[in-house]
């Protein structure tokens, strides 16, 4: 008695996995780029001489860091429509990931800014550079070298948390994997049932299944 194994579903599976991987990479790349940029701006704002800016950035950091990412994601996707703001699931996911990464990035970038020796800033002032020029040309390049490992680690954590965006129907890697599992599970069950019937037809009884 012959048997045929059908592997035609593998082609569709590879397409789904490739699509999910591409979407995940897009989410991470865009949110990492925007999150790093806003982190630098936020860290500079947190050290601003203006009290309102400092308190505003500090409040933002504390609010985001003390609420779960899933709550932030659901608020953006499900809560904003009640205010008349409707976002595409992919855009909502990028926005949520950027907001979350920025809050942690501000702390990381801030630590790097504080690590730069004060004498470097004073030297810039002595050369006649403006505060903005000192920040861009002297302070920021040195701080980025210091914070690079910690910032990369935070981006990796954000990549792991990106699986949560499948809850709002963003077809990233986790979403496609769950969809593939749901499709192939029935195939596995049918295969096992077919194997059981073939064994029964051949007179092979599973251990423990005979009569005594």
Answer yes or no: is pLDDT of 75 > 60: yes
pLDDT of residue 1: 44
**13 vs 99 pLDDT, higher one:** 99
Choose among 42, 33, 164: nearest CA to 104: 42
For 172-205, the pLDDT digits (tens) are 888 887 777 776 665 555 556 666 666 677 765 5
Distances in Å between the alpha carbon of 118 and those of 73, 109, 115, 121, 122?
A: 40, 16, 9, 5, 6
Q: At what angle do helices 140-161 and 89-115 cross, to 10 degrees?
A: 140
For the chain, which domains are there?
9-201 (1.10.3720.10)
pLDDT of residue 211: 46
pTM, entire model: 0.78
pLDDT mean over 149-174: 90
Q: What is the percentage of the chain residues whose pLDDT exceeds 90?
A: 47
CA distance 104 to 154: 8
Q: What is the percentage of the chain residues whose pLDDT exceeds 70?
A: 81
pLDDT of residue 13: 76
For 27-66, the pLDDT digits (tens) are 999 999 999 999 999 999 998 889 999 999 999 999 999 9
**H-helix or E-strand containing 104?**
helix 89-115
Contacts 24+ apart (CB under 8 A), 9-17: 9/183, 9/184, 9/187, 13/180, 13/184, 16/176, 16/179, 16/180, 17/173, 17/176, 17/177, 17/180
Q: How confident is the model at residue 128 (pLDDT cuts 50, 70, 90)?
A: confident
Answer yes or no: is pLDDT of 26 > 90: yes
């Amino acid at each position: 008695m012959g048997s045929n194994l059908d592997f035609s579903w593998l082609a569709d599976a590879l397409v789904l996995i490739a699509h999910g991987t591409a979407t995940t990479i897009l989410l991470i790349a865009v949110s990492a780029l925007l999150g790093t940029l806003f982190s630098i701006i936020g860290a500079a704002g947190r050290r601003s001489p203006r009290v309102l800016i400092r308190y505003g950035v500090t409040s933002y950091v504390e609010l985001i860091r003390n609420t779960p990412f899933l709550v932030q994601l659901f608020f953006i996707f499900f809560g904003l429509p009640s205010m008349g703001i409707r976002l595409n699931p992919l855009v909502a996911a990028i926005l949520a990931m950027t907001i979350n990464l920025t809050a942690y990035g501000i702390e990381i970038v801030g630590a790097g800014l504080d690590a730069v020796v004060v004498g470097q800033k004073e030297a810039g002032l002595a050369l006649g550079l403006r505060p903005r020029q000192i920040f861009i040309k002297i302070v920021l390049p040195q701080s980025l070298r210091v914070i690079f490992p910690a910032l990369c680690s935070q981006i990796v954590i954000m990549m792991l948390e990106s699986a949560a965006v499948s809850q709002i129907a963003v077809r990233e890697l986790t979403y496609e994997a769950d969809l593939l599992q749901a499709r192939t599970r029935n195939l596995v069950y049918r295969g096992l049932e077919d194997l059981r019937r073939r064994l029964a037809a051949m007179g092979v009884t599973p251990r423990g299944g005979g009569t005594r």
